[in-house]
Amino acid sequence: MSFWDRIKPTERPVSATEVTLSPDNTRLSLVWEDGVKTGTTAQVLRQQCPCAGCVDEWTNKRTLDPARVAADVRITQLQPVGNYALTFVFSDGHGTGIYPWKLLRELTQP
């Protein structure tokens, strides 16, 4: 057992091997290492943004009202964050959320 295993004994979450956007940028599709294929809409991703502007850092209470996110919101940019997450810029200008693989797996459906 290594030093790092003793101080942070967690399993590495499954990660996506393929990430695609629909032609109109309203839907994200993922293929995971274990072969599962999932997807969700840009609206759901925007509504569930984990950033400090959308979730209170102290209480973990969501401060973004999901009803205020337009149904036609689109993903205008998609970038990897290291080997552990993705970040998105949405058509409403928001782009500060970092979505770890574990969260994306929870937010997307087969």
49, 87 contact by CB (below 8 A)? no
Tens-place pLDDT, residues 11-55: 778 899 999 999 999 999 999 999 999 999 999 999 999 999 999
Tens-place pLDDT, residues 81-93: 999 999 999 999 9
pTM of the model: 0.89
> Who has greater pLDDT, 68 or 1?
68
pLDDT for the residue numbered 12: 76
Q: Distances from the Cα of 60 to the Cαs of 20, 57, 64, in angstroms?
A: 30, 6, 12
Residue ranges covered by each domain of the chain: 13-107
**DSSP secondary structure string, 1-40?**
--HHHHHS--PPPP-EEEEEE-TTS-EEEEEETTS-EEEE
Please provide the CATH number assigned to the domain covering 13-107: 3.30.2020.30
DSSP 51: S
pLDDT higher than threshold 70 for residue 9 = no
Q: What angle do CA 46, 52, 55 make, to 5 degrees?
A: 65
Can you tell me the distance from the alpha carbon of 97 to that of 73, in angstroms, rounded to the nearest whole number? 15
Structure tokens at 58: 């102290």
